[in-house]
Amino acid sequence: MVILGLALTAAVILFLFTLFVRAPQAAPYAAYGLVGLAIVVTAEILLFLDVSFVTTFFTPICWTAYILILDAAVFRIRGRSLLRSEPQAFVWMAVLSVFLWLIFEGYNLELRNWTYVGLPRNELVRYVGYGWSFATIWPAVLETAEFLLATLFRGCGPAPDPPHPRVPAAGWVLLGLVMAGFPLLAPF
């Protein structure tokens, strides 16, 4: 199973790299992307050497590096990117990511679909690790979307909005709350 996982990971990396190389270039690849690449390589080596900090925080280390790598790629292709062109929005995205992921953590209190292993004993360090991990989730998803829009789906302009009935904003909020509560009402 590990070999299959490594093969799939290598295939995805090769696919994304091919998209990157074939994309037009609006700016040079930003240095922070190279820092991200160096972080991933270093983290992999230190993980293999069983360095405690890296084994404990491997996920947020690599997601942070992934965000840097992709943001630099998007900047190279478009000449603008989330992290470089809209840093305040990026910070807010990371903060909101923590709270959005806490919704899933709330579901997991009831559903018990996952557990965390190898957590630090020190509560402060553990919660800083949680915060760091959760803060990378939505930025990584959105950076991936930006990269795919700049490469694979380049030129596919946005689809027109379909006609829909006017529902007051409060109605959308209520619908969102109902949908958010549904997994707890029907967990199986």
Locate tokens 């292709």: which residue?
77
- Ranking 2-11, 48-57, 93-102, 157-166 by mean pLDDT, the lowest is 157-166
* H/E stretch holding 66: helix 52-78
| Spatial distance between the Cα atoms of 31 and 147, rounded to a whole number of angstroms | 17
Q: Is the pLDDT of residue 63 over 80?
A: yes
Q: Is the pLDDT of residue 170 over 90?
A: no
- Residue 71 neighbours by CB under 8 Å, 6+ apart: 30, 32, 33, 81, 82, 83, 84, 143, 146
| Spatial distance between the Cα atoms of 91 and 83, rounded to a whole number of angstroms | 8
* Measured CA distances, 50 to 45, 46, 58, 115 (Å): 9, 6, 11, 21
Mean pLDDT for the chain overall: 89
- Give the model's confidence band at 173: pLDDT under 50 very low, under 70 low, under 90 confident, else very high: confident
One-letter amino acid for residue 162 of the chain: P
The predicted pLDDT at position 94 comes to 96
The predicted pLDDT at position 92 comes to 95
* The model's pTM: 0.83
Helix (H, G, I), strand (E, B) or coil at 22: helix
| Spatial distance between the Cα atoms of 46 and 72, rounded to a whole number of angstroms | 24
- The string over 29-43, giving b where at least 16 C-beta atoms fall within 10 Å of a residue's C-beta and e elsewhere, is bbebbeebbebbeeb
Domain boundaries, the chain: 2-152
pLDDT one-digit tens code per residue, 44-54: 999 999 999 99
pLDDT one-digit tens code per residue, 81-114: 999 999 999 999 999 999 999 988 988 887 788 8
Q: Of residues 155 and 90, which shows the higher confidence score?
A: 90
